[in-house]
Structure 1
Amino acid sequence: MVKKKWNSYPFQGSAFVKFKEKMKCLKGDLKVWNKDVFGDINTSKKRTLQEIEVFDCQDCSGILTEADRLKRSVLVTRLRELDKKLDSLVCQKARVSWLKYGDSCTRFYHSTLRWRRLKNEVKGVEVGGQWFEEPCTVRLEAKKLFETRFKATKDLGVRLDGIEFKSLSTEVSLSLIAVFTEKEIRDVVWQCEGTKSPRPDGFNFNFLKKS
Protein backbone atom coordinates (compact mmCIF):
# COMPACT_ATOMS: atom_id res chain seq x y z
CA MET A 1 0.00 0.00 0.00
CA VAL A 2 2.79 2.44 0.97
CA LYS A 3 4.86 1.67 -2.13
CA LYS A 4 1.84 2.03 -4.42
CA LYS A 5 0.80 5.35 -2.91
CA TRP A 6 4.36 6.67 -2.88
CA ASN A 7 4.82 6.05 -6.62
CA SER A 8 1.45 7.63 -7.45
CA TYR A 9 2.29 11.14 -6.17
CA PRO A 10 3.11 13.36 -9.20
CA PHE A 11 5.28 16.12 -7.69
CA GLN A 12 7.82 18.22 -9.56
CA GLY A 13 10.89 20.07 -8.34
CA SER A 14 14.02 19.17 -6.43
CA ALA A 15 14.41 15.80 -4.71
CA PHE A 16 14.01 17.32 -1.25
CA VAL A 17 10.78 19.17 -2.19
CA LYS A 18 9.28 16.04 -3.77
CA PHE A 19 10.26 13.96 -0.73
CA LYS A 20 8.67 16.46 1.70
CA GLU A 21 5.40 16.73 -0.27
CA LYS A 22 5.17 12.96 -0.67
CA MET A 23 5.63 12.48 3.07
CA LYS A 24 2.74 14.90 3.73
CA CYS A 25 0.41 13.08 1.32
CA LEU A 26 1.47 9.67 2.64
CA LYS A 27 0.68 10.70 6.20
CA GLY A 28 -2.87 11.65 5.20
CA ASP A 29 -3.35 8.43 3.23
CA LEU A 30 -2.09 6.37 6.17
CA LYS A 31 -4.72 7.98 8.41
CA VAL A 32 -7.47 7.07 5.93
CA TRP A 33 -6.08 3.54 5.57
CA ASN A 34 -5.91 3.12 9.35
CA LYS A 35 -9.55 4.19 9.70
CA ASP A 36 -10.70 1.84 6.92
CA VAL A 37 -8.70 -1.19 8.12
CA PHE A 38 -8.76 -0.88 11.91
CA GLY A 39 -11.77 1.39 12.41
CA ASP A 40 -12.62 2.93 15.75
CA ILE A 41 -10.96 0.81 18.45
CA ASN A 42 -13.23 2.08 21.23
CA THR A 43 -16.36 1.24 19.24
CA SER A 44 -15.01 -2.22 18.38
CA LYS A 45 -14.17 -2.86 22.03
CA LYS A 46 -17.65 -1.80 23.16
CA ARG A 47 -19.32 -4.04 20.56
CA THR A 48 -17.11 -7.00 21.54
CA LEU A 49 -17.97 -6.54 25.23
CA GLN A 50 -21.67 -6.53 24.38
CA GLU A 51 -21.32 -9.80 22.43
CA ILE A 52 -19.41 -11.41 25.31
CA GLU A 53 -22.10 -10.24 27.73
CA VAL A 54 -24.76 -12.01 25.63
CA PHE A 55 -22.86 -15.30 25.82
CA ASP A 56 -22.33 -14.82 29.58
CA CYS A 57 -26.11 -14.41 30.06
CA GLN A 58 -26.70 -17.60 28.08
CA ASP A 59 -24.09 -19.39 30.20
CA CYS A 60 -25.86 -18.30 33.40
CA SER A 61 -29.14 -19.62 32.00
CA GLY A 62 -27.54 -22.95 31.09
CA ILE A 63 -28.29 -22.71 27.36
CA LEU A 64 -24.75 -22.02 26.11
CA THR A 65 -23.62 -24.62 23.57
CA GLU A 66 -20.06 -25.76 22.83
CA ALA A 67 -20.08 -23.79 19.57
CA ASP A 68 -21.08 -20.68 21.49
CA ARG A 69 -18.30 -21.28 24.01
CA LEU A 70 -15.81 -21.39 21.15
CA LYS A 71 -17.21 -18.11 19.77
CA ARG A 72 -16.91 -16.53 23.21
CA SER A 73 -13.27 -17.66 23.44
CA VAL A 74 -12.57 -16.00 20.09
CA LEU A 75 -14.24 -12.80 21.31
CA VAL A 76 -12.13 -12.77 24.47
CA THR A 77 -8.97 -13.12 22.37
CA ARG A 78 -10.12 -10.25 20.16
CA LEU A 79 -10.84 -8.15 23.26
CA ARG A 80 -7.27 -8.67 24.50
CA GLU A 81 -5.87 -7.61 21.12
CA LEU A 82 -8.05 -4.49 21.14
CA ASP A 83 -6.83 -3.64 24.64
CA LYS A 84 -3.20 -3.90 23.48
CA LYS A 85 -3.90 -1.67 20.48
CA LEU A 86 -5.71 0.83 22.67
CA ASP A 87 -2.85 0.91 25.18
CA SER A 88 -0.34 1.46 22.37
CA LEU A 89 -2.47 4.26 20.92
CA VAL A 90 -2.79 5.96 24.31
CA CYS A 91 0.99 5.80 24.84
CA GLN A 92 1.67 7.33 21.42
CA LYS A 93 -0.87 10.11 21.97
CA ALA A 94 0.59 10.79 25.43
CA ARG A 95 4.07 11.26 23.96
CA VAL A 96 2.75 13.62 21.29
CA SER A 97 0.70 15.61 23.82
CA TRP A 98 3.72 15.89 26.11
CA LEU A 99 5.88 17.35 23.35
CA LYS A 100 3.09 19.66 22.15
CA TYR A 101 1.53 20.92 25.40
CA GLY A 102 3.99 20.02 28.17
CA ASP A 103 2.69 19.54 31.70
CA SER A 104 -1.06 19.57 32.21
CA CYS A 105 -2.58 22.41 34.19
CA THR A 106 -3.72 20.22 37.09
CA ARG A 107 -3.92 20.67 40.85
CA PHE A 108 -1.07 18.22 41.38
CA TYR A 109 1.13 20.12 38.91
CA HIS A 110 0.61 23.48 40.64
CA SER A 111 1.01 21.99 44.11
CA THR A 112 4.35 20.53 42.98
CA LEU A 113 5.43 23.94 41.70
CA ARG A 114 4.51 25.58 45.02
CA TRP A 115 6.42 22.93 46.96
CA ARG A 116 9.55 23.39 44.85
CA ARG A 117 9.26 27.18 45.09
CA LEU A 118 9.03 27.05 48.88
CA LYS A 119 11.88 24.55 49.06
CA ASN A 120 14.21 26.70 46.92
CA GLU A 121 13.21 29.99 48.52
CA VAL A 122 15.90 31.85 50.50
CA LYS A 123 14.06 33.19 53.54
CA GLY A 124 17.10 34.83 55.16
CA VAL A 125 20.82 34.74 55.86
CA GLU A 126 22.96 34.45 58.97
CA VAL A 127 25.59 37.18 59.33
CA GLY A 128 27.90 37.29 62.34
CA GLY A 129 25.70 34.92 64.31
CA GLN A 130 22.54 36.98 63.67
CA TRP A 131 19.62 36.04 61.41
CA PHE A 132 18.46 38.64 58.85
CA GLU A 133 15.36 38.36 56.62
CA GLU A 134 15.40 41.86 55.07
CA PRO A 135 15.56 41.59 51.23
CA CYS A 136 18.32 44.23 50.95
CA THR A 137 20.53 42.36 53.41
CA VAL A 138 19.90 39.01 51.71
CA ARG A 139 20.76 40.45 48.28
CA LEU A 140 23.92 42.09 49.60
CA GLU A 141 25.20 38.92 51.27
CA ALA A 142 24.38 36.83 48.17
CA LYS A 143 26.33 39.31 46.04
CA LYS A 144 29.31 39.12 48.36
CA LEU A 145 29.22 35.30 48.33
CA PHE A 146 29.30 35.01 44.55
CA GLU A 147 31.90 37.75 44.20
CA THR A 148 34.18 35.84 46.57
CA ARG A 149 33.61 32.51 44.86
CA PHE A 150 34.05 33.67 41.27
CA LYS A 151 36.48 36.56 41.59
CA ALA A 152 39.46 36.09 39.27
CA THR A 153 42.99 36.32 40.66
CA LYS A 154 45.87 38.07 38.97
CA ASP A 155 47.87 34.88 38.62
CA LEU A 156 45.81 31.99 37.22
CA GLY A 157 48.70 29.57 37.61
CA VAL A 158 48.49 28.43 33.98
CA ARG A 159 51.45 28.64 31.59
CA LEU A 160 51.13 27.91 27.88
CA ASP A 161 54.66 28.84 26.89
CA GLY A 162 56.33 26.32 24.60
CA ILE A 163 53.15 24.29 23.97
CA GLU A 164 52.47 23.45 20.33
CA PHE A 165 48.75 23.17 19.65
CA LYS A 166 47.54 20.92 16.87
CA SER A 167 45.88 22.81 14.03
CA LEU A 168 43.70 21.73 11.13
CA SER A 169 45.03 21.67 7.62
CA THR A 170 43.59 23.96 4.96
CA GLU A 171 41.80 21.04 3.28
CA VAL A 172 40.12 19.94 6.52
CA SER A 173 39.18 23.54 7.41
CA LEU A 174 37.46 24.01 4.05
CA SER A 175 35.59 20.72 4.46
CA LEU A 176 33.94 22.06 7.64
CA ILE A 177 32.13 24.79 5.69
CA ALA A 178 31.50 22.77 2.53
CA VAL A 179 27.95 21.93 1.38
CA PHE A 180 26.69 18.51 2.46
CA THR A 181 26.69 15.98 -0.37
CA GLU A 182 23.98 13.42 -1.01
CA LYS A 183 26.42 10.62 -0.17
CA GLU A 184 27.17 12.14 3.26
CA ILE A 185 23.47 12.47 4.09
CA ARG A 186 22.85 8.91 2.93
CA ASP A 187 25.73 7.57 5.04
CA VAL A 188 24.38 9.33 8.15
CA VAL A 189 20.86 7.96 7.61
CA TRP A 190 22.18 4.45 7.01
CA GLN A 191 24.18 4.55 10.25
CA CYS A 192 21.01 5.22 12.29
CA GLU A 193 19.13 2.39 13.94
CA GLY A 194 16.26 1.34 11.69
CA THR A 195 13.62 1.18 14.43
CA LYS A 196 14.40 4.69 15.69
CA SER A 197 12.25 7.68 14.75
CA PRO A 198 13.22 11.38 14.70
CA ARG A 199 10.02 12.22 16.59
CA PRO A 200 7.08 10.35 18.18
CA ASP A 201 4.69 10.79 15.22
CA GLY A 202 7.35 10.51 12.47
CA PHE A 203 8.57 7.73 10.18
CA ASN A 204 11.35 5.46 11.40
CA PHE A 205 14.65 4.99 9.58
CA ASN A 206 13.65 1.60 8.17
CA PHE A 207 10.97 3.45 6.18
CA LEU A 208 13.42 6.15 5.09
CA LYS A 209 15.99 3.60 3.94
CA LYS A 210 13.46 1.56 1.99
CA SER A 211 11.82 4.57 0.37
Structure 2
Amino acid sequence: MSLYLPLLGRKFTWCNSSDGEKWSKIDRVLVDPKWLEVFQLKLWGLPRLLSDHSSLILMEDERDWGPKPFRFQNTWLLHKNFHSFLEKTWKEFAVVGWAGYILLEKLKNLKVGLKKWNVEVFGNITNKLKATEVELHRLELVADARDLDDTERRRRREVRGEVWRLSKMVERLWSQKSRMNWALMGDRNTRFFHSHFLEEWNGRPGLGGSFNSVQGSGDFNRLEAKFSEVEIKAALMDCDGNKAPGPDGFNMGCF
Protein backbone atom coordinates (compact mmCIF):
# COMPACT_ATOMS: atom_id res chain seq x y z
CA MET A 1 0.00 0.00 0.00
CA SER A 2 1.20 3.51 -0.85
CA LEU A 3 0.04 6.87 0.42
CA TYR A 4 -0.32 10.26 -1.22
CA LEU A 5 1.32 13.13 0.64
CA PRO A 6 -0.33 16.57 0.70
CA LEU A 7 1.42 19.16 -1.44
CA LEU A 8 2.90 22.17 0.35
CA GLY A 9 4.06 25.46 -1.15
CA ARG A 10 1.57 25.64 -4.03
CA LYS A 11 -1.78 24.24 -5.20
CA PHE A 12 -0.99 23.11 -8.75
CA THR A 13 1.93 21.31 -10.40
CA TRP A 14 1.24 21.92 -14.11
CA CYS A 15 0.35 24.85 -16.35
CA ASN A 16 -0.54 24.65 -20.04
CA SER A 17 1.61 27.62 -21.13
CA SER A 18 3.71 30.54 -19.95
CA ASP A 19 0.57 32.71 -19.83
CA GLY A 20 -0.94 30.39 -17.22
CA GLU A 21 -4.47 29.96 -18.55
CA LYS A 22 -5.05 26.40 -17.31
CA TRP A 23 -3.77 24.81 -14.13
CA SER A 24 -3.82 21.25 -12.86
CA LYS A 25 -2.39 18.99 -10.16
CA ILE A 26 -1.23 16.03 -12.26
CA ASP A 27 2.07 15.18 -10.55
CA ARG A 28 2.07 12.88 -7.52
CA VAL A 29 4.48 11.23 -5.10
CA LEU A 30 3.72 7.82 -3.60
CA VAL A 31 5.25 6.89 -0.25
CA ASP A 32 5.44 3.58 1.57
CA PRO A 33 3.72 4.03 4.98
CA LYS A 34 6.77 2.46 6.66
CA TRP A 35 8.79 5.52 5.61
CA LEU A 36 6.42 7.74 7.57
CA GLU A 37 7.11 5.69 10.69
CA VAL A 38 10.81 6.55 10.48
CA PHE A 39 11.01 9.93 8.73
CA GLN A 40 9.00 13.14 9.12
CA LEU A 41 8.52 13.66 5.40
CA LYS A 42 6.93 16.62 3.67
CA LEU A 43 6.20 17.12 -0.01
CA TRP A 44 6.99 20.57 -1.44
CA GLY A 45 6.13 22.03 -4.83
CA LEU A 46 9.10 23.98 -6.15
CA PRO A 47 8.92 27.07 -8.38
CA ARG A 48 7.80 26.41 -11.97
CA LEU A 49 10.50 28.15 -13.95
CA LEU A 50 11.29 26.87 -17.46
CA SER A 51 9.08 23.79 -17.66
CA ASP A 52 5.28 23.42 -17.72
CA HIS A 53 5.64 21.24 -14.62
CA SER A 54 6.67 22.16 -11.11
CA SER A 55 9.38 19.98 -9.63
CA LEU A 56 8.44 18.12 -6.46
CA ILE A 57 10.82 17.49 -3.59
CA LEU A 58 10.28 15.03 -0.75
CA MET A 59 12.30 16.04 2.26
CA GLU A 60 12.63 15.71 5.98
CA ASP A 61 12.53 19.29 7.18
CA GLU A 62 13.89 18.87 10.68
CA ARG A 63 17.07 16.96 9.90
CA ASP A 64 20.19 19.11 10.04
CA TRP A 65 22.99 17.72 7.86
CA GLY A 66 25.45 20.39 8.99
CA PRO A 67 27.39 22.90 6.91
CA LYS A 68 28.33 22.05 3.34
CA PRO A 69 31.96 21.00 2.91
CA PHE A 70 34.33 23.30 1.06
CA ARG A 71 35.17 22.38 -2.54
CA PHE A 72 37.57 24.26 -4.78
CA GLN A 73 35.77 25.11 -8.05
CA ASN A 74 37.88 25.19 -11.20
CA THR A 75 35.59 27.84 -12.68
CA TRP A 76 37.10 30.30 -10.23
CA LEU A 77 40.26 30.11 -12.33
CA LEU A 78 38.38 31.74 -15.22
CA HIS A 79 37.62 34.92 -13.26
CA LYS A 80 39.85 37.81 -14.26
CA ASN A 81 40.63 38.79 -10.65
CA PHE A 82 41.08 35.32 -9.21
CA HIS A 83 44.83 34.86 -9.68
CA SER A 84 45.65 38.25 -8.15
CA PHE A 85 43.31 37.53 -5.22
CA LEU A 86 44.89 34.10 -4.70
CA GLU A 87 48.45 35.45 -4.78
CA LYS A 88 47.60 38.32 -2.43
CA THR A 89 45.83 36.05 0.09
CA TRP A 90 48.64 33.50 0.02
CA LYS A 91 51.51 35.97 0.46
CA GLU A 92 49.91 38.20 3.10
CA PHE A 93 49.29 35.35 5.55
CA ALA A 94 52.57 34.76 7.37
CA VAL A 95 53.16 31.50 9.25
CA VAL A 96 56.24 30.29 11.11
CA GLY A 97 57.03 26.58 11.40
CA TRP A 98 58.06 23.57 9.39
CA ALA A 99 57.01 23.28 5.74
CA GLY A 100 54.05 20.92 6.23
CA TYR A 101 52.58 23.08 9.00
CA ILE A 102 52.99 26.27 6.93
CA LEU A 103 51.19 24.67 3.98
CA LEU A 104 48.36 23.44 6.20
CA GLU A 105 47.77 26.83 7.85
CA LYS A 106 47.98 28.72 4.56
CA LEU A 107 45.40 26.40 2.98
CA LYS A 108 43.10 26.91 5.95
CA ASN A 109 43.36 30.68 5.59
CA LEU A 110 42.90 30.45 1.82
CA LYS A 111 39.75 28.38 2.30
CA VAL A 112 38.19 31.10 4.48
CA GLY A 113 39.11 33.77 1.94
CA LEU A 114 37.77 31.76 -1.00
CA LYS A 115 34.42 31.21 0.68
CA LYS A 116 34.01 34.95 1.20
CA TRP A 117 35.30 35.79 -2.30
CA ASN A 118 32.92 33.28 -3.88
CA VAL A 119 29.89 34.89 -2.22
CA GLU A 120 30.87 38.54 -2.64
CA VAL A 121 32.50 38.44 -6.10
CA PHE A 122 32.03 35.26 -8.05
CA GLY A 123 28.60 34.29 -6.72
CA ASN A 124 26.74 37.25 -8.18
CA ILE A 125 25.22 35.29 -11.07
CA THR A 126 23.81 32.63 -8.78
CA ASN A 127 22.39 35.26 -6.42
CA LYS A 128 20.72 37.08 -9.29
CA LEU A 129 19.19 33.85 -10.55
CA LYS A 130 17.82 33.01 -7.11
CA ALA A 131 16.28 36.48 -6.74
CA THR A 132 14.72 36.25 -10.20
CA GLU A 133 13.36 32.78 -9.45
CA VAL A 134 11.76 34.10 -6.27
CA GLU A 135 10.02 36.87 -8.20
CA LEU A 136 8.81 34.43 -10.86
CA HIS A 137 7.56 32.03 -8.18
CA ARG A 138 5.67 34.88 -6.49
CA LEU A 139 3.93 35.70 -9.78
CA GLU A 140 3.12 32.02 -10.27
CA LEU A 141 1.47 31.87 -6.85
CA VAL A 142 -0.59 34.94 -7.69
CA ALA A 143 -1.64 33.24 -10.94
CA ASP A 144 -2.64 30.19 -8.88
CA ALA A 145 -5.17 32.31 -7.00
CA ARG A 146 -6.48 34.68 -9.70
CA ASP A 147 -6.04 35.87 -13.29
CA LEU A 148 -3.06 38.15 -13.84
CA ASP A 149 -3.59 41.60 -15.28
CA ASP A 150 -1.74 42.77 -18.40
CA THR A 151 1.09 44.38 -16.42
CA GLU A 152 1.66 41.25 -14.35
CA ARG A 153 1.59 39.00 -17.42
CA ARG A 154 4.11 41.22 -19.18
CA ARG A 155 6.34 41.25 -16.13
CA ARG A 156 6.13 37.46 -15.83
CA ARG A 157 7.26 37.05 -19.44
CA GLU A 158 10.20 39.39 -18.77
CA VAL A 159 11.18 37.56 -15.59
CA ARG A 160 10.87 34.18 -17.31
CA GLY A 161 13.25 35.36 -20.04
CA GLU A 162 15.70 36.59 -17.40
CA VAL A 163 15.52 33.24 -15.59
CA TRP A 164 16.31 31.48 -18.87
CA ARG A 165 19.29 33.74 -19.58
CA LEU A 166 20.77 33.41 -16.09
CA SER A 167 20.10 29.67 -16.03
CA LYS A 168 22.24 29.19 -19.12
CA MET A 169 25.06 31.12 -17.46
CA VAL A 170 24.81 29.07 -14.27
CA GLU A 171 24.66 25.90 -16.37
CA ARG A 172 28.11 26.73 -17.70
CA LEU A 173 29.29 27.20 -14.14
CA TRP A 174 28.00 23.79 -13.11
CA SER A 175 29.48 22.13 -16.18
CA GLN A 176 32.86 23.18 -14.78
CA LYS A 177 31.96 21.74 -11.38
CA SER A 178 30.94 18.36 -12.77
CA ARG A 179 33.54 15.67 -13.29
CA MET A 180 33.41 15.30 -17.03
CA ASN A 181 35.65 12.24 -17.08
CA TRP A 182 33.26 10.42 -14.76
CA ALA A 183 30.23 11.51 -16.79
CA LEU A 184 31.82 10.21 -20.00
CA MET A 185 33.71 7.14 -18.85
CA GLY A 186 32.80 6.31 -15.26
CA ASP A 187 29.67 4.27 -15.84
CA ARG A 188 31.10 2.12 -18.63
CA ASN A 189 34.32 1.55 -16.66
CA THR A 190 32.32 0.45 -13.63
CA ARG A 191 30.22 -1.95 -15.69
CA PHE A 192 33.36 -3.46 -17.21
CA PHE A 193 34.88 -3.99 -13.77
CA HIS A 194 31.73 -5.55 -12.32
CA SER A 195 31.20 -7.85 -15.28
CA HIS A 196 34.74 -9.24 -15.01
CA PHE A 197 35.51 -9.36 -11.31
CA LEU A 198 32.28 -9.71 -9.33
CA GLU A 199 31.29 -13.03 -10.88
CA GLU A 200 32.47 -16.29 -9.31
CA TRP A 201 35.51 -17.82 -11.02
CA ASN A 202 35.98 -21.56 -10.85
CA GLY A 203 39.58 -21.34 -12.01
CA ARG A 204 41.03 -17.90 -11.32
CA PRO A 205 44.30 -17.49 -13.28
CA GLY A 206 47.50 -17.42 -11.24
CA LEU A 207 50.95 -15.96 -11.79
CA GLY A 208 53.69 -18.55 -12.19
CA GLY A 209 57.27 -18.89 -13.40
CA SER A 210 60.65 -17.76 -12.10
CA PHE A 211 61.55 -14.11 -11.56
CA ASN A 212 65.03 -12.65 -11.50
CA SER A 213 66.05 -10.07 -8.92
CA VAL A 214 66.73 -6.56 -10.20
CA GLN A 215 69.12 -5.76 -7.36
CA GLY A 216 72.14 -6.43 -9.54
CA SER A 217 70.86 -4.27 -12.37
CA GLY A 218 72.54 -0.97 -13.20
CA ASP A 219 69.16 0.81 -12.84
CA PHE A 220 68.51 -0.52 -9.34
CA ASN A 221 69.78 2.62 -7.62
CA ARG A 222 67.46 4.75 -9.74
CA LEU A 223 64.47 2.88 -8.32
CA GLU A 224 65.32 4.01 -4.79
CA ALA A 225 66.56 7.48 -5.66
CA LYS A 226 64.83 10.48 -4.05
CA PHE A 227 62.42 12.44 -6.20
CA SER A 228 63.66 15.83 -7.29
CA GLU A 229 61.57 18.99 -6.99
CA VAL A 230 61.42 19.18 -10.79
CA GLU A 231 60.01 15.63 -11.03
CA ILE A 232 57.41 16.30 -8.34
CA LYS A 233 56.25 19.50 -10.05
CA ALA A 234 56.12 17.78 -13.45
CA ALA A 235 54.00 14.94 -12.02
CA LEU A 236 51.68 17.43 -10.33
CA MET A 237 51.20 19.50 -13.47
CA ASP A 238 50.49 16.32 -15.42
CA CYS A 239 47.45 15.51 -13.25
CA ASP A 240 43.91 16.18 -14.41
CA GLY A 241 42.61 19.34 -12.74
CA ASN A 242 39.14 17.80 -12.36
CA LYS A 243 40.34 15.02 -10.11
CA ALA A 244 38.44 14.62 -6.85
CA PRO A 245 39.49 16.95 -4.02
CA GLY A 246 41.17 15.73 -0.89
CA PRO A 247 39.70 16.02 2.63
CA ASP A 248 40.58 19.72 2.70
CA GLY A 249 38.50 20.41 -0.44
CA PHE A 250 41.38 21.50 -2.69
CA ASN A 251 41.61 19.54 -5.94
CA MET A 252 44.46 19.15 -8.42
CA GLY A 253 43.27 22.15 -10.46
CA CYS A 254 44.04 24.42 -7.52
CA PHE A 255 47.62 23.23 -7.15
Shorter-chain TM-score tier: 0.3 to 0.5
After TM superposition, the score normalised by the length of structure 2 is 0.39
| Structure label with greater radius of gyration | 1
> Relative to total residues, which structure has the larger strand share, 1 or 2?
2
After TM superposition, the score normalised by the length of structure 1 is 0.45
> Relative to total residues, which structure has the larger helix share, 1 or 2?
1
| Greater relative CO, 1 or 2 (CA 8 Å, sep 6+) | 2
